Structure formats: C-alpha cells, structure tokens
Structure 1
Amino acid sequence: MNSFEPHITVATVVEQEGRLLFVREMQAGQAVLNQPAGHAEFGEDLMQAAYRETLEETAWRVEITDLLGWYIFQPQPGGGVYYRTCFLARPLGHDPHQKLDTGILEAVWLTPEELAARADEHRSPLVQRCVDDYRGGRRLPLDAIYQHPWPLQRG
C-alpha cells in the first residue's frame, strides 16, 4: 500500500479596484508569487486559517465572503499532496505596523493581466487556476463547509 503526505492548506483571493492581492515569497531560494496562503493549524477551522494567513502574509484584515473551491496538487510524483481550500475575501483595512511572516518579501496588488504576464514566477499552477475560476464567476456558499466542533481539551 502506498502512503502519501497530505498538506491541508488555505488560500485567499482578495480584490480591490480591479487588482488582486498576492505575496512575493521565497521558495527553494527563488522569489515566487502566490495568493496569501498557508497551512491550517490544529484547532482552527479553514476560514479562520484563511483569515490568519492573509493577515500574517499581507498585513491586510479581510472578510471571508465565499468559497471559491477545492484544489488538489501534487508537485512531483511520490511527493506530498496539497489540498487547498480557496476562499474569496474583501479587504477591510491594512495595518502598516504588522510584520510579515518569515519568507514573505512583500504583498503586491496586481491586475489579472499583470499576474498572467509573470507566469514564470507563480509558485504553482494553482495561482492562475484560482484567479481564472474567480474571474469566471465561481462562488460557492461558505456553509458548503461543515466544521464539527472540536472536542474540549482536558488539561
């Protein structure tokens, strides 16, 4: 039986005045573009994780509005598999004093055309796919996700 390493991740598509919010971050020694994204932490629901990752990586507070979809990606055969839940959000405000996560070079606002022109910098094919789905009008209700309450921790 083959086993694999699953990675539960979240990402957020945020638009303001025709521009989308991305991060320039380091991956394997190279600067790449990605949506604000990261791993869900134990005890955190997916929307909380998306909010937290967006704030930590961009210093933008957002309101999660919709579910864009689920995306599964395996960068290389036999490697880990990434299960990405992508949300849509609207920006609420920027905190210029918020320190960005380690490895994040900057938060940038790009038009979809500017992003497409920089395809060689995308962290993965999911970056463009999420934008394409967003621009294509995909919207799923947030209640499509059911989060059963976490059991109380005894300590």
Structure 2
Amino acid sequence: MIWKPNVTVAVVVEQNGRYLLVEEEPEAGCGLFLNQPAGHLDPGESIIQGAIRETLEETAYTFEPEYVLGIYQWYSHRADTNYIRFAFGGCVTHHDPEQKLDAGILRASWFGFDEINQMIQRHRSPLVMQCIRDHLAGKRYPLELLMHYES
C-alpha cells in the first residue's frame, strides 16, 4: 500500500483583532467545530488557487493571499489520517452575503483571540490555534516559496 497524505489549504484572516472562522458540521451528528476557512486541494489547482477557492466556498469572501503562514503536518488519530496543511495569511475583499456556503458550513464569523481560545475544545484540529499563534508571532514567508507546474 502506498501512503499518501491529505493536502489541505487554510487561511488566516485578521481584521481589527478578530479572526475569520467557520462553524462547520463535517458529518451529521459529529458536532459543531470551528476552523479557519480550509479544505482539500482539488486536482489540477495550485495550492494558492485552492486557498482562494476554499475561502470563497466556505465564507463568501474573496481572499487575497499575501504570504505563506506555514506548512504543518498533523496526524489525526480519530480519522487515522495524515494532513499536510498549507496556511496563508492575507485579506478578504468582496463579500457576497447571498452566496450559498459549502455543505456542512453553518456560518462564517469573526472572533477575537480570547473567544477562540475559550472554545478550543470545539476546534477542528490543533492547527486552528497554532496558525493563529504563528500569525500573532509574525511568521510570514513569501508566496514565491511555492511553485506550481503543469505538464
């Protein structure tokens, strides 16, 4: 058997001390979780394109990536799955409140650090808080770090 990690993208957007998160129920009956706008990379898209698409699908905001926040590896015992997360920082511009959000996404909202920290038991993964801490620590890497090739 060939081992393949799940490649995911996520974005950290902060405005006026508040972070954009989504409330999601990924599977019926498994509970309500908080996560950054995030998801799996689609076939044929670049990692940056995936981050832009996922943000729009989950929040109805247009995301403009400004930097790579970090690359994270996490093993979920519950799912028996390895995840490689490419996280980006940037800003959001246009918002379409009429846009239907992805299945499983209940809403996108802005939360302060203390609120997010108090709800840590509802985080989809430990990467939610780690990405916010890295953002607050000023971690920033150029987008040119990532190269996309097609044949």
Percent identical residues? 43
Q: Deviations along 1:11-66, whole A, 9 cap, x unmatched?
A: 00011111110000013421000000000111100010000000000001121100
**1:100 & 1:56 partners in 2: Cα distance?**
6
User: 1:1-155 to 2 correspondence within 5 Å?
Assistant: 3-28=2-27, 29-76=30-77, 79-148=80-149, 150-151=150-151
SS of 1:54's partner is helix
Give the TM-score normalised by the residue count of structure 1. Answer: 0.91
Which has the higher Rg, Structure 1 or Structure 2? 1
DSSP 3-state at the match of 1:4: coil
Unaligned runs of 5+ in 1: none
How many residues are treated as equivalent by the alignment?
Answer: 149
Large movers: runs of 4+ above 6 Å: none
Cα–Cα, structure 1 residues 4 and 105, in superposed 2: closer, same or farther, change >3 Å? same
Q: Which runs of 5+ in 2 are unaligned?
A: none
Corresponding residue SS for 1:30? coil
Q: Cα offset for 1:92? A: 0.6
Bigger shift: residues 77-86 or 64-73: 77-86
